[in-house]
């Protein structure tokens, strides 16, 4: 019987994580950051999502939760992201929706 092991963070990943926790924009200089590093960056500043290629739904949700205006950097946001934005910040949701219609 095989047991799944939790992935151990490397020293490099721990340094990256601590770096983005202090300044999320540092993710711009990290090639292929792990999801944990991405999460640390968007929790520090939601706008950092603009430097993340193809963010997962979890990353999108955390970014919008941190700052609703960062939705403009999310290509094809999921329904869950729109729902979170609508629940937390109707003003931003309406601005985004109006911009998409024009």
Model pTM above 0.85: no
Show the DSSP H helices in the chain as ranges: 11-22, 35-44, 57-66, 79-88, 90-101
- pLDDT tens track of the chain, all 102 residues? 455 555 667 889 999 999 999 999 999 999 999 999 999 999 999 999 999 999 999 999 999 999 988 999 999 898 999 888 888 877 777 777 676 665
Domain locations along the chain: 11-101
């Amino acid at each position: 019987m095989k047991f799944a092991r939790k992935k151990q963070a490397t020293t490099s990943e721990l340094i990256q994580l601590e770096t983005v926790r202090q300044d999320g924009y540092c993710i711009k200089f990290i090639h292929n950051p792990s999801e944990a590093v991405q999460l640390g960056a968007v929790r520090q500043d939601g706008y950092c999502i603009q430097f993340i290629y193809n963010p997962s739904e979890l990353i999108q949700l955390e970014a919008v939760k941190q700052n609703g205006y960062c939705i403009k950097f999310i290509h094809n946001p999921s329904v869950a992201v729109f729902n979170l934005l609508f629940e937390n910040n109707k003003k931003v949701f309406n601005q985004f929706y109006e911009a998409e219609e024009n």
